[in-house]
Chains A and B, each alone.
Chain A
Amino acid sequence: MYIIANPTNREIVISDLKLSLSPRQSRDLHEAKLPIPPEKSKDLEFCKKKGLIKVLRQDSDNKISSPTQVLPQKEVIIKEKEVIKNVVNTDDIKNIIQQEIQKVVEKINTQPVKNDQNDILQQILSKMNEISKPISNQNDVYIEGQIDEETLQKIHVKTLNKITQNVSGNVECNDDKINDTVSKNISELEGLL
């Protein structure tokens, strides 16, 4: 098990693994089909160093190479700079495009224009304001360690199996009979629950 998570609020692409993680998404790399074993990924290492990827769990007993999961690959050597390029920040791209459009519009706006052109420009500007509002109102809410329930349970089961493998005991407890006050509720609850 090698579970990583994207703790940021943007999409992260790990190029040499050909893997992208949405904001706050987690993934078990040993379950994913990857071109190279995740332990050999330089891009992943870089992302981890930069805090762009967080390792939630990495089992030491997993071998580095797992032939059944490794696909044929082209040799890819990526330098750090290239990795940075590939770490796509969709919010940044939106901002850049927005700024560029704004510049063009402002440039046009400062030039003398005819009335009908001015109306069109006003319409474009008001539309742009409408578009930019939802982007600027977005809240960056991230709960540390958020992970989907199924993955969380898989982790727990694995942990439990590991910590209880040499555990034994003699705990037992006598059965007590208690007043049954719920049997009569059961048929009534069938219709409700």
Chain B
Amino acid sequence: MSKNKALSNDSGTMFFQVAELDEKGNISTKCIRNVFVELAITEDIEEILKQNKWHYIKDDNHYYVVGEDAIKVARMFPGKVELRRPMSEGVLNKGEDKKMIVMAELINMLVGKAPTEDSVVCICISSDPIDGSSDNTYHKARLESMYKRNGWNVKVIEEGMAVCLAERPTMIEKDGTEVPYSGISCSFGAGRANCVLSYKGLQVIGASIAISGDWIDRQVSNQTDVAISQVIAKKEKELDFTNINYDDDVIFALDAYYTEMIRKVFSAFGKKFNTVKSEFDAPLDIVIAGGTAMPKGFVNKAEEVIRKLDLPFEIKNIRVSEDPRNSVVKGCLAQAVVTMNKIEKQKGSTPKKDE
């Protein structure tokens, strides 16, 4: 068996995830919250960090506590340390000057160096924005360079496409033939919503919009005057679209802004669909993934909103991934294995057993 490695990375606004197929054919993942706090170097700081077994990155002047530990530190010292993010709205955070150190070291420590010259990592980026928000050219080049300097062959796909490769949407041709990997695949992350239209595994159009989880949290917090952290807690623990408690202001507002998010995202994608004059006669599957699609009953909410919209395509079926949080990283992994096998075939070495 070849020693080449195929793995995937989804550097999201909220989570940094890595996945690989192990030798037994199982998927193993690493997932860390993509946040950090900065602490100045003091006499006793290293001891405190070690005692608490907190994960950190250190440069000449500072310690950066990362992941869930960063949240713990922020809670212990409210107002004294600020919870910061290397990513914002699906791209490297323009306003964060330590983003490169943190991201590069997360990659170094959780992914490491490529074991062979034919090893492949597949990463995902957002599709072109349709709302004039952050362009991702610079983000893509920087992310790619973080892997290339560690010897990886880098394959980049759009986030919606990763959902497509993991979730296998289908359309049925007039003669009854099932066409796999054809339909609309969406990822509702923290920073952005991404949608891709694909046909037989090839991307036809892709679009993204900075209206997703963070946008909902901000709007709800503004409207209800409840802190964002509390809004997030309610969203993650209590929100259930099959049983909305309209007496709870936050839940009520979450329901309203989820409706608005779905409406805005699919209306914008419908416009993009029209501008490229895509023509699909057969009804299309819509498959949704991403952390923002995790609340119970999200599929009912999506059905209710999308079916009412006047969209330029017919809808076959709307479904939510069984594993919304891992769908993107799984799709990237499928692409990484395919790309690595291609390289091996070209060089005449043994392809991986999934062949």
Shortest distance between the CB of A120 and any CB in chain B (Å): 47
A179 to B322, CA, bound (A): 10
Interface string of B127-148 (1 = CB under 8 A from A): 0000000000010011011101
Residues of A within 8 A of B144 (CB): 153
- Give the one of A166, A169, A174, A193 with max B CB within 10 A: A169
Contact B58 A187 (CB under 8 A): no
**Cβ 8 A contact of A157, one of B21, B145, B330, B335:** B145
Q: Is the CB of A169 within 8 A of B31?
A: no
A-B contact pairs, 18 of them (CB 8 A): A153-B141, A153-B144, A160-B149, A164-B101, A167-B59, A169-B55, A169-B64, A169-B109, A171-B67, A171-B105, A178-B330, A180-B21, A182-B333, A185-B334, A186-B354, A189-B181, A189-B338, A193-B338
Q: Establish whether residues B149 and A171, one from each chain, have CB atoms under 8 Å apart when the complex forms.
A: no
Stretch at the interface among B22-30, B259-267, B278-286: B22-30
Whether A159 is near chain B, meaning CB under 8 Å from some CB there, is yes
Q: Tell me the interface secondary structure of chain A in the complex.
A: mixed
Decide: B30 and A173 in contact? CB cutoff 8 A.
yes
Answer whether residue A156 sits at the interface, using C-beta atoms and an 8 A cutoff. Answer: yes
- A188 lies within 8 A of B180 (CB): yes
Proximity string of chain B (36-73) to chain A, C-beta cutoff 8 Å, 1 when within and 0 when not: 00000000000000000001111110001011000000
* A67 to B: closest C-beta gap in Å: 29
The answer to whether A171 and B145 touch across the interface, beta carbons within 8 angstroms, is no
Contact: A171 with B55, CB < 8 Å? Answer: yes
* Residues of A contacting B148 in the complex (Cβ-Cβ under 8 angstroms): 153, 157
**B326 on the interface (CB 8 Å rule)?**
yes
The answer to whether the Cβ of B305 comes within 8 Å of any Cβ in the partner chain is: no
Residue from B19, B30, B67, B338 whose CB has the most chain A CB atoms within 10 Å: B338
Residues of A near B56 (CB, < 8 A) are 169-171
User: What are the 7 closest A-B residue pairs judged by CB atoms, nearest first?
Assistant: A156-B145, A192-B201, A169-B57, A173-B30, A175-B28, A171-B109, A182-B334
Given contacts A157-B145, A167-B57, A171-B55, contact A182 B25 (CB under 8 A): no
Q: Hey, which chain B residues are within 8 Å of A166, CB to CB?
A: 59-60
* Distance in angstroms between the alpha carbons of A86 and B59 in the assembled complex: 48
Q: Restricting to A141-193, which residues have a CB under 8 Å from any CB of B?
A: 149, 152-153, 156-157, 159-161, 163-164, 166-183, 185-190, 192-193
On whether A178 and B355 interact (CB within 8 A), knowing A153-B144, A167-B59, A192-B181, the answer reads no
**In the complex, chain A residues whose CB is within 8 Å of the CB of B323:** 178-179, 181
Give the interface SS of chain B, mostly helix, strand, loop or mixed.
mixed
What is the CA–CA distance of A167 and B56 in the complex, to the nearest angstrom? 11
A176 to B326 alpha-carbon distance, docked (Å) = 11
Residue of B with least CB distance to A175: B28
B141 surroundings in chain A (CB, below 8 A): 149, 152-153, 156
Q: Which residues of B contact A153 (CB under 8 A)?
A: 141, 144-145, 148
A positions within 8 Å CB-CB of B: 149, 152-153, 156-157, 159-161, 163-164, 166-183, 185-190, 192-193
Count residues on chain B whose CB falls below 8 Å from chain A CBs.
56
Does A167 lie within 8 Å of B31, measured CB to CB? no
For residue B355, which residues in chain A have a CB less than 8 angstroms away from its CB? 186-187, 190
In whole angstroms, what is the CA distance A179 to B200 when docked? 24
Beta-carbon contact of B109 and A172 below 8 Å: yes
15 more A-B contacts (CB under 8 A) besides A177-B29, A179-B323, A181-B330? A157-B145, A159-B100, A160-B104, A163-B100, A163-B104, A164-B104, A167-B58, A167-B104, A169-B56, A171-B66, A172-B55, A179-B322, A180-B27, A186-B338, A190-B338
- The reply to whether the CB of B227 lies closer than 8 angstroms to some CB of chain A is no
Complex: how many Å from CA A156 to CA B99? Answer: 13
CB distance from B38 to the nearest CB of A (A): 13
In angstroms, Cα B31 to Cα A161, docked, is 25
**Are B166 and A181 in touch, CB under 8 angstroms?**
yes
- Contacts A167-B57, A167-B101, A181-B330 given; indicate if A176 touches B29 (C-beta within 8 A): yes
* Closest chain B CB from A73 CB (angstroms): 35
Residue numbers in A under 8 Å from B26 (CB-CB) = 177, 180
Contact yes or no, B335 A183, CB < 8 A = no
Report the Cα distance A167→B354, complex, angstroms. 38
Interface flag for B106 (CB, 8 Å) = yes
Is B268 among interface residues, defined by CB-CB distance under 8 A? no
B206 CB to closest chain A CB (Å) equals: 16
Q: A157-B145, A169-B55 are in contact. Are A178 and B326 (CB under 8 A)?
A: yes
Give Cα distance in the complex from A151 to B142, angstroms: 12
Residues of the A chain whose Cβ atoms lie less than 8 Å from the Cβ of B142: 156
Of the residues A156, A172, A174, A183, contact of B354 by C-beta under 8 Å: A183
**In chain B between 160 and 200, which residues have their CB closer than 8 angstroms to a CB of chain A?**
165-166, 168, 180-181, 200
When distances are taken between beta carbons in the complex, the residues of chain A under 8 Å from B57 are: 167-169, 171
Which residue of chain B has its CB nearest to the CB of A191? B201
Q: In the bound complex, what is the Cα–Cα distance between A192 and B58 (angstroms)?
A: 45
For B146, list chain A residues within 8 Å (CB). Answer: 156, 160
| CB atoms of A182 and B32 under 8 A apart | no
CB distance from A87 to the nearest CB of B (A): 29
Q: What residues of chain A lie closer than 8 Å to B104, measured between beta carbons?
A: 160, 163-164, 167
